[in-house]
């Protein structure tokens, strides 16, 4: 496919800018380029076709089954895009006086209140721009709390090995040392190892739950009790709240702080790196440290308030407002019945698909899962040489986006599958048939699968080079 720059023919194009209706202003020469920029010159119809062709090169949830575990796109109702693009929202300026943005403040206030209720937390900030950013904010609260208490000996954060990779990264970013705790046979936290790890240097624990094995830790209350008894605080990574929302609440399990990825469970699509948002909820005793401003209701009106011992802003203005609008629309539309119903469907779908694959593929933890499960391709690889990568690549030929590969790290040939709550039984059955067909192909001719995919323009790029040295910018003269 050609780049838009290669389609350029001098003099072609179209004019889309309306005439200027304000006096022209001459910029100082020092601000001007010597040459006009080398922008593409393409006729409208060619440009239209170019972008349509580009869009067809991408694969999204609108194209087919997309069971990418852990970071899955869940239900993104299109109608919430309408809500987020209402002119009354998109034309606001963040520096407008409070009295002129009461509706927007009400959105922030109501969204915070409802997400607080869903998580069992007393106060919520909507400022962070992503899940990891929410973790960073939450762990800063934990740090500020210990510092305010004069307890500077607490320098360690405990992170189980089934945690999402951002958890240890967050602890490190905030300046803590990470203490790794292994999983037990069942895929939960090893309680003896946890008891041995806690002490007067424990600032807190970060728990991804359900963890990256798709397992809800049955000892969760014991875990938070052990950490609290040692004087630490408990952080809940609720990026993927979809299997538990409306059913159980982190706040009731003993957690002090939680983040939710609004761009996973709460309706914002998140392909291509954003924008996202994390809601960070905390218990009352951490609320004075929250980033400001927060929105407070006073009679019929709303105003910004600054928490007393705030850690400061973590993002400009009030967060990614459009993402928060979508989350609010999602919560209000599903309501008290719809939210737990969505959670149950997430769990039913994952267990159904796991059961259908279980006879062939080896499950890393063959017991009921939450919203996702992990296939261990290890035994198949031993028998046939076919790896998790080969299976994932072959699925592409059948129009399935591969599951998350080689994660969690504690399962070496991992394929982490999350069907999500919205797929029909027919889609799950069709996907299961394809997974099983690939399994049979591996046993018949494993060699062949090393060459998959067979139908794609790009098969096996050097993924490290693509991630480390991406070529995303074309310059005049480039090949
Ligand atoms: C996706 C995810 C994160 C990180 O969220 P980002 O928005 O990508 O920063 C953290 N924890 C878990 C469990 C996740 O699935």
CA distance 71 to 405: 12
Q: What are phi and psi of 258, to 5 degrees?
A: -150, 150
475 against 81, higher pLDDT: 81
CA of 165 from ligand 1 middle (Å) equals 8
Q: Is the pLDDT of residue 272 over 80?
A: no
Q: What are phi and psi of 108, to 5 degrees?
A: -60, -45
Q: State pLDDT tens for residues 370-411.
A: 999 999 999 999 999 999 999 999 999 999 999 999 988 889
* 238 touches 258 (CB < 8 A): yes
Nearest-atom number in ligand 1 for the CA of 212 is 13
Question: Where does the pLDDT of residue 273 fall: very low under 50, low under 70, confident under 90, or very high at 90 and above?
Answer: low
Nearest-atom number in ligand 1 for the CA of 166 is 10
CA distance 350 to 419: 6
CA of 135 from ligand 1 middle (Å) equals 9
Query: Does 202 contact ligand 1 (Cβ within 6 A)?
Result: no
Strand (E) or helix (H) holding 205:
strand 202-208
Query: Does 370 contact ligand 1 (Cβ within 6 A)?
Result: no
Q: Of how many residues is the chain composed?
A: 479
* 224 touches 251 (CB < 8 A): no
Question: If you compute the radius of gyration of the chain from its CA atoms, what whole number of angstroms results?
Answer: 25
Task: Quote the percentage of the chain above a pLDDT of 70.
Answer: 99
* 441 touches 448 (CB < 8 A): yes
Question: Where does the pLDDT of residue 350 fall: very low under 50, low under 70, confident under 90, or very high at 90 and above?
Answer: very high
* 437 touches 400 (CB < 8 A): no
Residue spans of alpha helices (H) in 365-461: 378-384, 388-397, 425-444, 446-449
Query: Does 269 contact ligand 1 (Cβ within 6 A)?
Result: no
Q: Identify which of 50, 45, 36, 56 has the alpha carbon closest to the alpha carbon of residue 6.
A: 50
CA distance 220 to 218: 6
Question: Where does the pLDDT of residue 270 fall: very low under 50, low under 70, confident under 90, or very high at 90 and above?
Answer: confident
Report the DSSP beta bridge partners of residue 259. 237, 280
Q: Is the pLDDT of residue 152 over 80?
A: yes
Exposed e or buried b per residue across 363-384, where buried means at least 16 C-beta atoms within 10 angstroms of its C-beta: bbbeeebbbbbbbbbbebbeeb
Query: Does 214 contact ligand 1 (Cβ within 6 A)?
Result: no
* 63 touches 33 (CB < 8 A): no
Q: Is the pLDDT of residue 274 over 70?
A: no
Query: Does 120 contact ligand 1 (Cβ within 6 A)?
Result: no
* 234 touches 228 (CB < 8 A): yes
**Helix, strand, or coil (residue 382):** helix
Ligand 1, atom 5, lies closest to the CA of: 131
Q: For tokens 């087919």, what's the residue?
A: 64
Q: What is the pTM assigned to this prediction?
A: 0.90
CA distance 45 to 192: 66
CA of 418 from ligand 1 middle (Å) equals 14
Query: Does 71 contact ligand 1 (Cβ within 6 A)?
Result: yes
CA of 120 from ligand 1 middle (Å) equals 20
Q: Is the pLDDT of residue 479 over 70?
A: no
Distant-in-sequence, close-in-space partners of 162: CB < 8 Å, separation ≥ 6: 183, 187, 188, 189, 208, 211, 212, 213, 215, 408, 410
C-alpha distance from residue 212 to each of 252, 288, 417, 436 (Å): 21, 32, 10, 23
CA distance 416 to 373: 6
Question: Where does the pLDDT of residue 218 fall: very low under 50, low under 70, confident under 90, or very high at 90 and above?
Answer: very high
Q: For tokens 């869009």, what's the residue?
A: 55
Q: Identify which of 110, 82, 75 has the alpha carbon closest to the alpha carbon of residue 322.
A: 82
Q: What are phi and psi of 89, to 5 degrees?
A: -90, -50
In the chain, the largest separation of any two C-alpha atoms, in whole Å, equals: 75
**Within 10 A of 58 (CB to CB), how many other CB atoms are there?**
10
Query: Does 208 contact ligand 1 (Cβ within 6 A)?
Result: yes
**Within 10 A of 456 (CB to CB), how many other CB atoms are there?**
13
CA of 261 from ligand 1 middle (Å) equals 7
CA distance 106 to 89: 12
Query: Does 162 contact ligand 1 (Cβ within 6 A)?
Result: no
CA of 292 from ligand 1 middle (Å) equals 23
Nearest-atom number in ligand 1 for the CA of 238 is 13
CA distance 210 to 242: 10
pLDDT of residue 373: 96
**Within 10 A of 215 (CB to CB), how many other CB atoms are there?**
23
Query: Does 240 contact ligand 1 (Cβ within 6 A)?
Result: yes
Share the mean pLDDT of the chain: 94
């Amino acid at each position: 496919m050609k780049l838009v720059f290669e389609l350029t023919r001098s003099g072609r194009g179209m004019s889309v800018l309306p005439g200027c209706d304000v006096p022209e202003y001459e910029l100082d020469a020092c601000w001007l380029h010597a040459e006009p920029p080398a922008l593409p010159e393409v006729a409208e119809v060619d440009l239209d076709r170019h972008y349509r062709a580009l869009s067809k090169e991408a694969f999204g949830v609108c194209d087919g089954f997309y069971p990418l575990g852990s970071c899955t796109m869940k239900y993104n109702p299109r109608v919430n895009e309408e809500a987020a693009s209402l002119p009354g929202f998109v034309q606001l300026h963040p520096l407008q006086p409070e009295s002129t943005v009461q509706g927007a403040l009400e959105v922030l206030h109501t969204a915070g209140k409802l997400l607080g209720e869903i998580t069992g937390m007393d106060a919520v900030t909507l400022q962070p721009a992503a899940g990891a950013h929410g973790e960073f904010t939450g762990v800063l609260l934990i740090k500020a709390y210990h510092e305010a208490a004069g307890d500077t000996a607490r320098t360690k954060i405990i992170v189980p090995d089934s945690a999402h990779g951002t958890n240890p990264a967050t602890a490190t970013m905030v300046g803590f040392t990470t203490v790794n705790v292994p999983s037990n046979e069942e895929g939960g936290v090893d309680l003896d190892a946890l008891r041995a790890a806690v002490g007067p240097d424990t600032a807190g624990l970060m728990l991804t739950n359900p963890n990256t094995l798709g397992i809800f830790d049955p000892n969760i209350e014991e875990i938070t009790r052990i950490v609290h008894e040692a004087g630490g605080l408990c952080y809940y990574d609720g990026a993927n709240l979809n299997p538990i929302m409306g059913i159980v609440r982190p706040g009731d399990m003993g957690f002090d702080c939680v983040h939710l990825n609004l761009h996973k469970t709460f309706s914002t699509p998140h392909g291509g790196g954003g924008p996202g948002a994390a809601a960070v909820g905390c218990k009352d005793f951490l609320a004075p440290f929250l980033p400001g401003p927060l929105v407070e209701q006073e009679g019929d009106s709303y105003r910004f308030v600054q928490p007393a011992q705030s850690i400061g802003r973590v993002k400009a203005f009030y967060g990614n407002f459009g993402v928060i609008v979508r989350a609010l629309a999602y919560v209000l539309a599903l309501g008290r019945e719809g939210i737990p119903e969505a959670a149950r469907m997430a769990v039913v779908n994952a267990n159904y698909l796991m059961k259908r694959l279980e006879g062939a593929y080896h499950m890393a933890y063959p017991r009921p899962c939450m919203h996702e499960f992990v296939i261990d391709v290890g035994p198949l690889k031993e028998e046939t040489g076919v790896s998790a990568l080969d299976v994932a690549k072959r699925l592409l030929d059948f129009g399935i986006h591969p599951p998350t590969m080689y994660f969690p790290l504690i399962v070496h040939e991992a394929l982490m599958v999350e069907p999500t709550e919205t797929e029909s039984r027919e889609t799950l059955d069709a996907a299961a048939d394809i997974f099983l067909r690939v399994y049979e192909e591996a046993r018949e001719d494993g060699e062949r699968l090393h060459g998959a995919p067979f139908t794609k323009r790009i098969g096996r790029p050097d993924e490290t080079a693509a991630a480390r040295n991406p070529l995303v910018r074309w310059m005049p003269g480039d090949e």
